[in-house]
Amino acid sequence: MAAQYSISGTTAKGIASSVERGVSEGALEPGTALPPVRALADRLGVSPGTVATAYKELRQRAIVVTRGRGGTVVAAAPAVASRRPPRVPDGLRDLAGGHPDPELLPRLVPPSRLSPGARSHRSTPRLARLEGVVRDWLEPDGVPTEHVTFAHGALDLIGRLLSVELRPGDAVAMEDPGYHHLLDLVTALGLRTVPVAVDEQGIRPEALRAALRAGVRAVVFSPRAQNPCGGSFSGARRDALVDVLQEAPDVLVVENDHASSVADAPLRTLTAGGLNRWVHVRTVSKFLGTDLRWAAAACDPTTLARHDGRLLLTSGWVSHLLQETVYGLMTDDGTRALVARARETYALRRNTLLRELACRGTKAHGASGMNVWVPVRDESAVVNGLRSHGWWVAAGARFRTSAAPGVRISVAELPPADAVRLASDFTAVLGESEATYGG
């Protein structure tokens, strides 16, 4: 690809801008190797130091990465062109997106009390009645609620906190496999990902301890409905993780309870374990609507001050119109009943697929949430094989750092009868791929 795009410039800034333009326009795709420093310097008639400075700037901005003898290549998720999932081919059943079933979401109706729109809400950024609802939502699960705040979704909050707390080059412990948008976000912030293995009970204590010893400054994890593997903390796992984290009191602990009310598993939070720096964040997109970009968070006072201070300087507050909408839904009896029904339905669909796969000798993971993770030998072979049967699933490469291959199947819109057919097709495809690539 580099041969098809001519990098230009006579200064470090000009060269970096040229590469960035090529990436943002798609001419330099993820994984494309850039010319060696001396080769590009000779072609452009500049010093090797000028090219090296340009490459350094691009690395700091998470547009390229250096792989030692492998040279400098465009990052897998460059900050100027966020990695997006492949388009679902026409005629295929989409089980890759991870979205909730629209039939199990409430109808969104704008609140009757609209914001005047002319005045600033910086002095009162949060509706007091919604704060009360949030505390009632979190406290039964053991999350301390003395300090709460709002954000425009979990990624918005986590990105803001990491940018305030850390500096480019700092390390963050991330689940592996883990949520691909979070992995991309960490890279885009110029931070280093330290992968931490997960299992059916979530993040593994020994892997977390190794990451802490490697010098990570923050840890991001899901206590239940872990995406993509569905792990959920047991009481013993929670206690073990608290013990590990207490060895590193200055590390920021981010607990992302993204599925919360539809996770079909109890919350065993780390936040009640006496940690110094922590935040527990919940969104409503999985059960109230994907377009409701709102999140609630409880945290320690230092984290609250740093988050809200940065929020004040950017968007200022979360729209009161949005807050009114969330408040109306969360206090509506009909919506609460629909959420309970969604939780039961997702559990049935997930467990049906797990059972049907197991009956056919295929091991899969999904203790909670909306996704099932199936280890496979060759992701592309399985994805393409299922495509021939009319199914579209997510290749695991988007979610992995160093973990073994697999595919993620989203079950939110997969009724039990269809799960039986999918399991049969999956088994056939798995047998074909093993015969082709060696079992």
35: containing domain: 12-74
Res 111: pLDDT: 72
Within a domain: 38: yes
Q: Are residue 311 and residue 322 in the same domain, yes or no?
A: yes
Cα atoms in the Cβ-side hemisphere of radius 13 Å centred on 317? 15
Cα atoms in the Cβ-side hemisphere of radius 13 Å centred on 439? 7
Contact 429, 386 (CB under 8 A): yes
Q: Are residue 311 and residue 340 in the same domain, yes or no?
A: no
Q: Are residue 279 and residue 396 in the same domain, yes or no?
A: no
Residue 121 corresponds to which tokens in the numbers above? 């809400």
Residue 272 β-bridge partners: none
Domain boundary residue, one of 333, 351, 371: 333
Pairing between β-strand 406-410 and β-strand 394-395 as defined by DSSP bridges: antiparallel
CA angle 408, 280, 110 (to 5 degrees): 80
Contact partners, residue 78, CB within 8 Å, separation at least 6 = 23, 30, 62, 63, 64, 188
Res 1: pLDDT: 39
Residue 197 β-bridge partners: 176
Give the containing element (helix H, strand E) for 151: strand 148-151
Within a domain: 343: yes
* Count of the separate structural domains present in the chain: 3
Within a domain: 262: yes
Q: How far apart are CA 166 and CA 390, in angstroms?
A: 44
Within a domain: 107: no
Q: Are residue 403 and residue 358 in the same domain, yes or no?
A: yes
Kindly state the DSSP code that residue 365 receives in the 8-state scheme.
B
Contact 83, 184 (CB under 8 A): yes
3-state secondary structure 398-431: HCCCCCCCEEEEECCCCCHHHHHHHHHHHHHHHH
Q: Are residue 341 and residue 382 in the same domain, yes or no?
A: yes
Q: Is the dihedral of CA 287, 288, 292, 294 positive or negative?
A: negative
Contact 5, 22 (CB under 8 A): yes
Position 247: which residue type? Answer: E
Q: Are residue 161 and residue 257 in the same domain, yes or no?
A: yes
The most distant pair of C-alpha atoms in the chain lies apart, rounded to whole Å, by 70
Within a domain: 391: yes
Domain boundary residue, one of 290, 318, 333: 333
Q: How far apart are CA 56 and CA 67, in angstroms?
A: 13
Q: Are residue 170 and residue 314 in the same domain, yes or no?
A: yes
Contact 218, 252 (CB under 8 A): yes
Res 437: pLDDT: 47
Distances (CA, A) of 62 to 29, 43, 167, 179: 14, 25, 13, 18
Kindly state the DSSP code that residue 332 receives in the 8-state scheme.
-
Within a domain: 193: yes
**Nearest residue to 102 via CA among 259, 289, 264, 261:** 289
Q: How far apart are CA 261 and CA 249, in angstroms?
A: 30
Contact 412, 360 (CB under 8 A): no
Position 153: which residue type? Answer: G
Position 146: which residue type? Answer: E
Q: Are residue 325 and residue 373 in the same domain, yes or no?
A: no
Q: Are residue 278 and residue 220 in the same domain, yes or no?
A: yes
Q: Are residue 184 and residue 296 in the same domain, yes or no?
A: yes
Kindly state the DSSP code that residue 33 receives in the 8-state scheme.
B
Contact 249, 211 (CB under 8 A): no
Res 126: pLDDT: 95
Within a domain: 82: no
pLDDT tens over the chain, length 439 residues: 344 789 999 999 999 999 999 988 889 988 899 999 999 999 999 999 999 999 999 988 888 888 877 799 998 777 775 556 667 888 999 999 999 999 999 998 777 666 666 667 888 899 999 999 999 999 999 999 999 999 999 999 999 999 999 998 899 999 999 999 999 899 888 899 999 999 999 999 999 999 999 999 999 999 999 999 999 999 999 999 999 999 999 999 999 999 999 999 999 999 998 999 999 999 999 999 999 999 999 999 999 999 999 999 999 999 999 999 999 999 999 999 999 999 999 999 999 999 999 999 999 999 999 999 999 999 999 999 999 999 999 999 999 999 999 999 999 999 999 999 999 999 999 988 765 544 4
Residue 374 β-bridge partners: 407
Contact 392, 89 (CB under 8 A): yes
CATH number of the domain where residue 395 is located: 3.90.1150.10
Q: Are residue 327 and residue 345 in the same domain, yes or no?
A: no
Q: How far apart are CA 228 and CA 159, in angstroms?
A: 20
